[in-house]
Amino acid sequence: MGAMEWVDGVVRVLDDHCIGFGLCASDCPESAIALTPREAPEEPSKTVQDMGMKILQEKGILEGDMKVMHG
């Protein structure tokens, strides 16, 4: 996904590329990465695609109410 990079021997998370799935936190052998929970609980997304679309909209990467075409 390109959300992490090595800088001077340290892995850094690029916030503008992170979509919040948490794979970096679960893969970190030093347990140095933690996810920050959202302040208010939200209604869970019905599909993984809906969840991804919502995250991208929150980050300003995707505009409006675009729908994923299933086919």
Mean pLDDT by 10 residues, the chain (71 residues): 81 80 81 77 86 88 62 48
pLDDT of residue 68: 53
Helix residue spans in 1-71 (DSSP H): 23-27, 48-58
Lookup: tokens for 64: 């409006």
Going by C-alpha positions, the residue among 59, 3, 32, 56 that lies closest to residue 68 is 56
pLDDT of residue 65: 57
CA distances from 39 to 36, 42 (A): 9, 9
Spatial distance between the Cα atoms of 20 and 66, rounded to a whole number of angstroms: 20
pLDDT of residue 46: 92
Q: Quickly count: other Cβ atoms within 10 Å of residue 30's Cβ.
A: 6
pLDDT of residue 49: 92
